[in-house]
Structure 1
Amino acid sequence: MSTATANTLDWRAAWTSALDDLEMDVFAVESMLADERRLAETPPANQWRPPTELGALPLELKPRADEILTRQLAAAEEIARRLTANRQQIAVTSRIETGEAVKRPVYLDCAM
């Protein structure tokens, strides 16, 4: 095997590995969004970091990278939607009076 072929295989393998890591990160977020009972405050243990010095993405990996990007954007949109829904729910529940925090005078008309 020539040095150029070996370098090309190493380059492709490095990109494949980077996409594998990124895809697992997206899968973890998608799983968290699918599981309503999972603790959302717990961040992923190994956050994905972009690899350095890989060079350009191999052309045959572009469809996979595009698909991962589409999934990332969908997950980000779902997170934003859920955050908005949570804020709306907090706003509504903060207006509910329990009677404990707010003491209001009560008037009773005994004339009747």
Structure 2
Amino acid sequence: MSARASNAVDWRSAWTAALDDLEMDVLAVETMLADERRIAEAPPSDLWRPPTELGALPLELRPRADEILTRQLAAAEEIARRLTANRQQMAMTSRIETGEAVKRPVYLDCAM
């Protein structure tokens, strides 16, 4: 194998490995979104970092990269939706009176 062919194989392998790492990161987020209890029990410890000096993405890996991007965007949209829902729920619960601070009658005597 020539040096040029070897470099092309190394370049493609490096991009494949980078996409593998990125896909595992998206899968971890999707898994946490599917199981809310898991988020509290095991927060992510190793965040994905983009590799450096890879060069251009090989054309044959473009469909896979596009699919990963689509999944990332869907996960980000779901996270935003859940954050909004949490804020709305917090706003609603903050308006609920527990009766602790203000003493009010619990019944009205209509017999009089």
TM-score above 0.5, yes or no: yes
> Shift in Å at residue 39 of structure 1?
2.6
Residues 1:91 and 2:71 are matched in the alignment: no
Residues 1:6 and 2:13 are matched in the alignment: no
> Residue 60 of structure 1 aligns with which residue?
60
**Aligned pair in 2 of structure 1 residues 67, 14: CA closer, same or farther (>3 Å)?**
same
> Residue 46 of structure 2 aligns with which residue?
46
Higher helix share: 2
Scaled by the length of structure 2, the TM-score of the pair is 0.89
Alignment: residue pair count = 110
Contact 1:32-1:40 within 8 A present in 2 as well: no
**Hey, what's the Cα distance between the residues in 1 that align with 2:41 and 2:49?**
20
Unaligned stretches of 5+ in structure 1? Answer: none
Unaligned stretches of 5+ in structure 2? Answer: none
Q: Percent identity?
A: 79
Q: CA RMSD in A?
A: 2.0
